[in-house]
Chain A
């Protein structure tokens, strides 16, 4: 008997039971995320109606009904308006963007010389891409090339007047070229200037502190339009008669000064977040002021405020559109200028051109913000508790 009285021992794991049918599958997901409560259900239905109303309209307008090619306005006009499209048609006139694409990118830059802009852009990307990818080595050399050498190369290439390259006036520049040049200069100038202003504002020397505070608060208190206005109307009054500045240069000065005031406040936030012990530790090691700031405080402070810095860059990139007001043509300015082209005057032209500009701006800004989130995660070395 005893031989048969062996207790049964399971040698393998039992299979997991399937979850209750109310908790798994698409049905459960829908119930949980869309119809959890009566209010939820109403919201869902309302949102679905909104989507069902807008989405087909947007898709039809931008893709299915859009006109992609054409020589002039007749391509985008309905029968009643003198074109060939069916009456009541509404769609994007991408043919307009297509025809003006070169203008939108380069402005009135001479067509034979556009290769110079393209070459500059290629160098720019070739230097920027390895700088942004953390795994690529030689960061220091790369940064020096990008921030110190590239401006000179770009200047020689874009402005010309040397080595047989014809001189191109900046008044001929336009489009995305202007947007990118202003943003690049703004970024390269505003970061170091902002750091210096932030240090000045936290300095123990009363006069330096006072001057920095006055500068930062005045610039932050007025709109960029006013700063640009000052740069374009008052700068000529400030210099001796006969001495003139390039209009483009004036806009650059305005944007860079404006951005550096904002940058200073961002950096100051980072400086304030560094515990006092770090400063004292550096002092006790016998480091001087610049060593203390450069080796101990700044690396930590800047890392903390990367989101703020990138937000300032994004803001500045968007603010480049304001040079339109002092009659310079960045991407938005040139799009707007071409909207009044009689050859392309249709009811859809304005919308199409502006949507195109919006997409370009959106791609740049969205890219910057995603990269900053990525960088923030990478550099997050345990300040969070």
Chain B
């Protein structure tokens, strides 16, 4: 026995170098690093050679050069004399505008549809199901084209614009609505808004403290609405109504004045909102279904009304299930906004492409894309993680 054992031990120590998992793991990792370093060296070497051949200078110096192209939609001052860096900034702002407006609309629509899918009302449920199944199963790019080519571009020409209420117009050049021009003293309105908001926060705190102490409730919602809308109105009146509206006026070939929302933006915004809302609806539905039935029964047994059961018991628990997948939908929407390039909305990607065609700085442009998109993703997920941690189950 002993002899055998010794023998075995000797055997294993002889072969251990190949069969030792630690040695193997180090070997494979070193191998991988060598391969990677070699691969990167090969790529860098080739790239330098290729760039030298085509006379492209490297570095981000080109960002200070004159852009020389116009951008149709820009929220910050820009002209063709501005720099490339400025053009990229315009693109980033445009991307963010689409992403933020799209996220807000998609969330509202998605919650409505998701709740409608769980409604006891048969007809409403069917409509919501059809909506979700249709939009989940077609590509977002197709939805964008449908709005752009199928709906908005066959609207009448500016001469025969469709008139909408409140002095707005709809035609093949987009949507026109009156521009708000604030005059002197407008800061009072804003100040009133801030004061109303602060007072509401204060009232809500006091009301909660009182309810905790005495059990008496206070109508926070109505008071808050009154404060938030009342103070700005008061400020508006005090400053002597410092607002004029600049209405769009129909000319021979175009509408002048007012604010114009381009059809490119409208198509992208509508398509991304409708498309993402279908996914958010499914997430909301799964979240609400994920709260166990005992919770709502227990709440009902305590004597809460259905509305309060939903608000105080179901939704806070459902949110915990909803938030993580909702985050990834928000990220998807932001990334899908790069489809703007297909219809010519000047987002970050489209402008980057134009600059690439003019300067040939492929590597720099792609680096800029990656850095910006990655930081948007990272910031969004950081915010949503913070929000998630706030509403997460507090285990004591």
Q: Which of A229, A322, A361, A366 contacts B133 (CB 8 A)?
A: A366
Interfacial residues of chain A within 328-365, with CB under 8 A of chain B in the complex: 332, 336, 339, 347, 350-351, 354-355, 357-358, 361-362, 365
Chain B: which residue is nearest A365 at the CB level? B137
CB distance from A92 to the nearest CB of B (A): 11
Q: A34 contacts which chain B residues (CB < 8 A)?
A: 121-123
Binary interface profile of A, 208-227, with partner B (CB < 8 Å = 1, else 0)? 10010000001001111110
CB distance from B263 to the nearest CB of A (A): 13
Contact A361 B366 (CB under 8 A): no
Contact B138 A237 (CB under 8 A): no
Chain B: which residue is nearest A367 at the CB level? B137
Contact A223 B141 (CB under 8 A): no
Contact B142 A208 (CB under 8 A): no
Binary interface profile of B, 148-174, with partner A (CB < 8 Å = 1, else 0)? 011101100000000000000000000
For residue A318, CB closer than 8 A to chain B, the reply is: yes
Contact residues on B (Cβ < 8 Å of other chain), bracket: 35 or more
Q: Please list 25 pairs of residues, one from A and one from B, whose beta carbons are closer than 8 Å in the complex, sorted by A's number.
A: A33-B122, A36-B121, A40-B121, A221-B377, A222-B369, A222-B370, A223-B373, A225-B339, A229-B366, A230-B366, A237-B47, A238-B47, A239-B46, A240-B46, A241-B50, A241-B53, A314-B137, A318-B140, A347-B154, A350-B153, A351-B150, A351-B151, A355-B146, A358-B146, A365-B138
CB distance from B229 to the nearest CB of A (A): 26
Contact B32 A208 (CB under 8 A): yes
Contact A238 B139 (CB under 8 A): no
Provide the bound-state CA to CA distance between A225 and B336, in Å.
9
Q: Which of A43, A314, A318 contacts B119 (CB 8 A)?
A: A43
For residue B231, CB closer than 8 A to chain A, the reply is: no
For residue B378, CB closer than 8 A to chain A, the reply is: yes
Provide the bound-state CA to CA distance between A362 and B136, in Å.
9
Interfacial residues of chain A within 220-271, with CB under 8 A of chain B in the complex: 221-226, 229-230, 233-234, 236-241
Q: B134 contacts which chain A residues (CB < 8 A)?
A: 362
For residue A204, CB closer than 8 A to chain B, the reply is: yes
For residue A44, CB closer than 8 A to chain B, the reply is: yes
Contact B362 A237 (CB under 8 A): yes
Q: A287 contacts which chain B residues (CB < 8 A)?
A: none
**Which of B134, B150, B153 has most A Cβ within 10 Å?**
B150
CB distance from B66 to the nearest CB of A (A): 23
Q: Which of A40, A44, A229 contacts B369 (CB 8 A)?
A: A229
Contact A350 to B123, CB < 8 A, known contacts A211-B32, A229-B366, A233-B366: no
Contact B121 A33 (CB under 8 A): yes
For residue B363, CB closer than 8 A to chain A, the reply is: yes
CB distance from A230 to the nearest CB of B (A): 6
Contact A207 to B29, CB < 8 A, known contacts A222-B374, A226-B373, A319-B139: yes
Binary interface profile of A, 267-285, with partner B (CB < 8 Å = 1, else 0)? 0000000000000000000
Contact A332 B338 (CB under 8 A): no
Q: A33-B121, A211-B32, A222-B373 are in contact. List 17 more A-B contacts (CB 8 A).
A: A43-B121, A208-B32, A218-B374, A222-B369, A222-B374, A223-B336, A226-B366, A238-B43, A241-B53, A318-B140, A321-B142, A325-B339, A351-B150, A361-B137, A361-B138, A361-B139, A362-B138
Q: B151 contacts which chain A residues (CB < 8 A)?
A: 351
Q: A129 contacts which chain B residues (CB < 8 A)?
A: none
Provide the bound-state CA to CA distance between A314 and B135, in Å.
13
Provide the bound-state CA to CA distance between A24 and B338, in Å.
55
Contact B123 A44 (CB under 8 A): yes
**Which of A225, A350, A361, A366 has most B Cβ within 10 Å?**
A225
Chain A: which residue is nearest B376 at the CB level? A221
CB distance from A341 to the nearest CB of B (A): 13
For residue A48, CB closer than 8 A to chain B, the reply is: yes
Contact A325 B366 (CB under 8 A): no
Q: Which of B25, B141, B149, B366 contacts A350 (CB 8 A)?
A: B149
CB distance from A289 to the nearest CB of B (A): 8
Provide the bound-state CA to CA distance between A50 and B138, in Å.
23
For residue B78, CB closer than 8 A to chain A, the reply is: no
Contact A324 to B342, CB < 8 A, known contacts A223-B336, A362-B137, A366-B133: yes
Residues of B within 8 A of A (CB): 25, 28-29, 32-33, 36, 43, 46-47, 49-51, 53, 119-124, 127, 133-134, 136-142, 145-146, 149-151, 153-154, 335-336, 338-339, 341-342, 349, 353, 356, 362-363, 366, 369-370, 373-374, 377-378
Contact B123 A48 (CB under 8 A): yes
Q: A223 contacts which chain B residues (CB < 8 A)?
A: 335-336, 338, 349, 373
Q: B370 contacts which chain A residues (CB < 8 A)?
A: 218, 221-222, 226
Q: Which of B28, B53, B138, B369 contacts A208 (CB 8 A)?
A: B28
Q: B36 contacts which chain A residues (CB < 8 A)?
A: 211
Chain A: which residue is nearest B128 at the CB level? A47
CB distance from B351 to the nearest CB of A (A): 13
Q: B133 contacts which chain A residues (CB < 8 A)?
A: 366
Provide the bound-state CA to CA distance between A358 and B120, in Å.
31
**Which of A237, A339, A362 has most B Cβ within 10 Å?**
A237
Contact A332 B139 (CB under 8 A): yes
Provide the bound-state CA to CA distance between A247 and B137, in Å.
28
Q: A33 contacts which chain B residues (CB < 8 A)?
A: 120-122
Q: Which of A207, A226, A241, A369 contacts B349 (CB 8 A)?
A: A226
Contact A336 B339 (CB under 8 A): no
Q: A339 contacts which chain B residues (CB < 8 A)?
A: 149
Chain B: which residue is nearest A204 at the CB level? B25
Name the 3 nearest CB pairs between A and B, nearest first.
A365-B137, A223-B335, A350-B149
Chain A: which residue is nearest B306 at the CB level? A37
For residue A125, CB closer than 8 A to chain B, the reply is: no
CB distance from A86 to the nearest CB of B (A): 18
Provide the bound-state CA to CA distance between A289 and B120, in Å.
51
For residue A51, CB closer than 8 A to chain B, the reply is: yes
For residue A205, CB closer than 8 A to chain B, the reply is: yes
Contact A324 B32 (CB under 8 A): no
Interfacial residues of chain A within 11-52, with CB under 8 A of chain B in the complex: 33-34, 36, 40, 43-44, 47-48, 50-51
